[in-house]
Amino acid sequence: MKLFKQIFWLLLIVALAAGIAYTARHYPGEVIVNVASYRVTMKLFVVALLLLATVAVLIGLWRLYATMVGLPERWRDWRSQKRENRSLSALQTATLALHEGRWAHADKAAKIAACHPQAAGLAALLGAASAHAQNKPHEATEWLGQLDSLDDKADFADAKALQNAEMALAKGDASAALTHLDGVSGQLRKHSERYQALRVSAHAAANHWHEVLQISLDKKWQVPLATKSHWQSQAIIGLSNDETSSASYLTALYKDMPDDVRANDDVITAYAKALIRTEALGHARRVIEEAQRDTWRPQLLKLYTQASDAESLTAQLKMLDAWDKQRQALNQPDAQLHLATGQLCLKAQIWGRAKKSFVDSISIRPTAQAHYGLAQAYRAMDDVTHAQEQERLAAQLAEV
């Protein structure tokens, strides 16, 4: 477009020059100007040239005048553009510093960026995040308060709510965090992974383990499987430790429990304790037996003995014998296994086998529990002397 404009003006000038030359050649007239007592005679083409020169000078003067008049406005525009560029540069600096962990630099850059109205909202969020990272809750609150004075504050409402929720969680106020999260838009609830992460953390902090479990089981929550497993494990541990959880509710939990969660020792231990507490002994035994099937977990053997009743002793002793054969085949005898066998034999009043099991346990690793169990077996067999000796050894180990 600029090239066409230049060609147009060039052709116009050439045509004008040709017209002047033609007129001067074929119409050699004169122009006579009388001014007072003076008489000026000029060729016609000279008059035309003077007129053109006068027009050109007037145009030049007009442009100079317009430029001079527009200087203040141009100066203001230049200053405004400079401030805008400075604010944009400060925003970039604040964002980089925040991600690099340079909190003080991020805060300083955010203050510079906040001077420009168009950058004030984002600068306030960056400033609040940097202040929160520096453990300055008062400054972070002041930053977020600046969002309320913006014309487009509605655009920052969700981001402000998430930041407030994160700050509330840092202070240990799960109730306030959940209140802030309840105020976000429906669009954010569907698509924000940060919202879901804060929500599950807030419910966990408030011991709302049922809600935590529901969130972790939500297929729409697009997070790594390890993250889901972590929250499922925490939820099941929390529900297991909750004394209000019924046996039927705990039993239903196990049906939907993923394999990777069942493989968690802390989960199975807490879950088995909860079943024993609610007197769901049969289910507790099955859970422990399934847990021992793939991975040997000696810490569950104590719970296995606690989950016994009069009808289950024979079956449990057979299971312990099977586990002992597996450990012997691997040349990995287990003291806890023999201790559990001895304790069940005491309940079944099989004194001779109880004595042998406790002796085997002590030969692998002496413990106060094994010596005390052996003392009980001796007393049941009316061997008071050996019983007292074992009680003395148990007391010595208990003091260590």
Per-residue model confidence as pLDDT tens digits over 213-230? 999 988 888 888 889 999
Residues 34, 133: Cα–Cα separation, whole Å: 89
Distance of alpha carbon 287 from alpha carbon 275, whole angstroms: 9
> Over the stretch 125-138, which tens digit does the pLDDT of each residue have?
888 889 888 888 88
**pLDDT computed for residue 31 by the predictor:** 67
Over residues 143-159, mean pLDDT: 84
CA angle, 289 then 294 then 300, to 5°? 45
Is 58 part of a structural domain of the chain? no
pLDDT tens digits, one per residue of 245-264: 999 999 998 988 888 899 99
> Quick one: 224 and 299 in the same domain?
yes
Residue 224 lies in a domain: yes
- What's the CA gap between 268 and 233, in Å, rounded? 9
Q: What is the mean pLDDT of the chain?
A: 87
By CB atoms closer than 10 A (0-12, 13-18, 19+), residue 24 is middle
**Based on the structure, what is the number of domains in the chain?**
2
**Calpha distance 234→144 (Å, rounded):** 32
The CA-CA-CA angle for residues 207, 213, 214, to 5°, reads: 115
Q: Among the residues of 101-145, which ranges form H helices?
A: 103-113, 120-133, 137-145
Q: Which residues contact 123 (CB under 8 A, 6 or more apart)?
A: 87, 90, 91, 94, 110, 111, 113, 114
Q: From CA 295, how far away is CA 318, in angstroms rounded? A: 19
So what's the pLDDT on residue 27? Answer: 62
Burial of 121 from C-beta contacts in 10 A (0-12 / 13-18 / 19+):
buried
14-42 pLDDT per residue, tens = 887 777 677 666 666 676 777 777 777 77
Q: Where would I find the beta strands (DSSP E) of the chain? A: 30-35, 38-43
Q: Number of H helices and number of E strands within the chain? A: 21, 2
pLDDT of residue 211: 93
Does any domain span residue 51? no
CATH label of the domain that carries residue 334: 1.25.40.10
Is residue 356 in some structural domain?
Answer: yes
Residue 16 to residues 23, 45, 83, Cα–Cα distance (Å): 10, 12, 48
Instruction: Report how far residue 248's alpha carbon sits from residue 254's, in angstroms, rounded to the nearest whole number.
Output: 10
Q: Are 23 and 44 in contact (CB under 8 A)?
A: yes
Cα–Cα distance measured from residue 314 to residue 296, given in angstroms and rounded to the nearest whole number? 21
* Residue 376 belongs to some domain of the structure: yes
Domain end call among 307, 340, 371: 307
Mapping DSSP to helix (H, G, I), strand (E, B) and coil, where does residue 222 land?
coil
| Cα separation, 200 vs 207, whole angstroms | 10
Residues 294 and 369 in one domain: no
For residue 231, being part of any structural domain is answered with: yes
- How far apart CA 320 and CA 322 sit, in angstroms, is 5
State mean pLDDT over 253-279. Answer: 92
Asked if residues 119 and 113 have their Cβ atoms less than 8 Å apart, the reply is yes
Looking at the structure, tell me whether residues 295 and 371 fall in a common domain. Answer: no
Determine phi and psi for 31, rounding to 5 degrees.
-120, 125
**Domain-embedded: residue 257:** yes
pTM to 2 decimal places:
0.73
Question: What's the confidence (pLDDT) of residue 50?
Answer: 81
Q: Which two tokens stand for residue 28?
A: 């050699």
Least confident of 30-34, 120-124, 272-276: 30-34
Check whether 381 has a pLDDT greater than 70: yes
Contact partners, residue 369, CB within 8 Å, separation at least 6: 339, 394
User: What is the percent of the chain where pLDDT is above 90?
Assistant: 46
Quickly state the pLDDT bin for 339 (edges 50, 70, 90). very high
Q: Residue 343 — very low, low, confident or very high, per pLDDT cuts 50/70/90?
A: very high
Question: What pLDDT is attached to residue 165?
Answer: 92
341 is a domain residue: yes
Percent of the chain with pLDDT over 70: 96
Q: Render pLDDT for 152-199 as a digit per residue (tens, 0 to 9).
A: 788 888 888 999 999 999 989 999 999 999 988 888 888 888 899 999
The boundaries of the domain holding residue 241 are 219-307
Are 348 and 318 in contact by the 8 Å Cβ rule? The answer is no
The answer on 301 and 224 residing in a single domain is yes
Same domain, 377 and 346: yes
pLDDT of residue 25: 67
> Residue 19 has what pLDDT?
75
**CA 232 – CA 61 distance, rounded (Å):** 81
Is the predicted pLDDT of residue 61 greater than 80, yes or no? Answer: yes
Q: What is the mean pLDDT of residues 70-99?
A: 78
Residues 286 and 241 in one domain: yes
Give me the mean pLDDT over the 350-370 stretch. Answer: 94
What's the token pair of residue 4? 């066409």
